Amino acid sequence: MIVKFCGATTEAEVTEMAAAGADLVGLWHGVPGGRAELSAARLAGLAAKALAAGRPRPVLVTFSADARALLAVVAAARVPCLQLHGFQPPGTVRALRRDGPPGLEIVKALHLRDGVCLEERLTGAYERAGADAFLLDTATADGRLGSTAEPLADAAVTALADRTGLPFLLAGGLHAGNADDFAGARAHPRFLGIDVDSAARAGDGLLRAGRARAVAHAWRTA
């Protein structure tokens, strides 16, 4: 099972996530107002740190729909994976697949509010455009996306997974104590793993190995 921790802003956090056994680390760029937003240069530096160590693999997490600008960042930072976490249209996925480097992995977030997928009518178009996987996450009532700490309902996750054709990651308020709440999602044949933010952070707001390790262990052994 893949375990991703999101929103690293320091080299120390990248190192801590490696120590925790993380597979992926999310690096934010093009997330206006985001508390973990990185400049392109800073993102490249953290990605280089992860790539040199061999783990965790860096993931560019963005709300941007500018495929050309995103590919410039991908090339400069040599990130192998791009997570489109906003409401980017299928055309952005298509352009990234067409013009991006061979092997670039594209993950498209799908947002659920009260069990309803806000991108429901576009899931097939995302698949045809070349997305490799979906990430199922919460959209809050007040419009927040990402790092909401609000979990989805297992039944809504599995129902959406059944209606789509790609492997999926699960996000939204996941922590060491709620793996059993998602028995359906974990048993789904296209379940890839989890994406965690808040539960891996200490009181100073930074990602910490101890907290991340507890989450990873709980989900991998559930």
Q: What is the pLDDT of residues 36-57, one digit of tens each?
A: 999 999 999 999 999 999 999 9
Strand, helix or coil for residue 213: helix
Q: What would the two tokens of residue 131 be?
A: 């997305």
**pLDDT confidence band for 108 (50 / 70 / 90):** very high
d(CA 217, CA 178): 12
150 within 8 A of 140, measured Cβ to Cβ: yes
Give, to the nearest 10 degrees, the angle between helix 67-77 and helix 40-53. Answer: 40
Give the chain's mean pLDDT.
95
Specify the pairing of strand 105-113 against strand 116-117: antiparallel
Whether omega before 90 lies within 30 degrees of 0, making that bond cis, reads no
d(CA 85, CA 61): 7
Residue 31 has pLDDT above 70, yes or no: yes
Percent of the chain with pLDDT strictly greater than 70: 97
Give pLDDT tens digits for 110-163: 999 988 999 999 999 999 999 999 999 998 766 667 566 778 999 999 999 999
Whose structure tokens read 């055309």?
A: 91
Whose structure tokens read 């941007």?
A: 64
Q: What is the DSSP letter of 29?
A: -
H runs (alpha helix) in the chain: 11-19, 40-53, 67-77, 90-99, 123-129, 154-163, 183-187, 209-221
Residue 29 has pLDDT above 80, yes or no: yes
d(CA 114, CA 141): 8
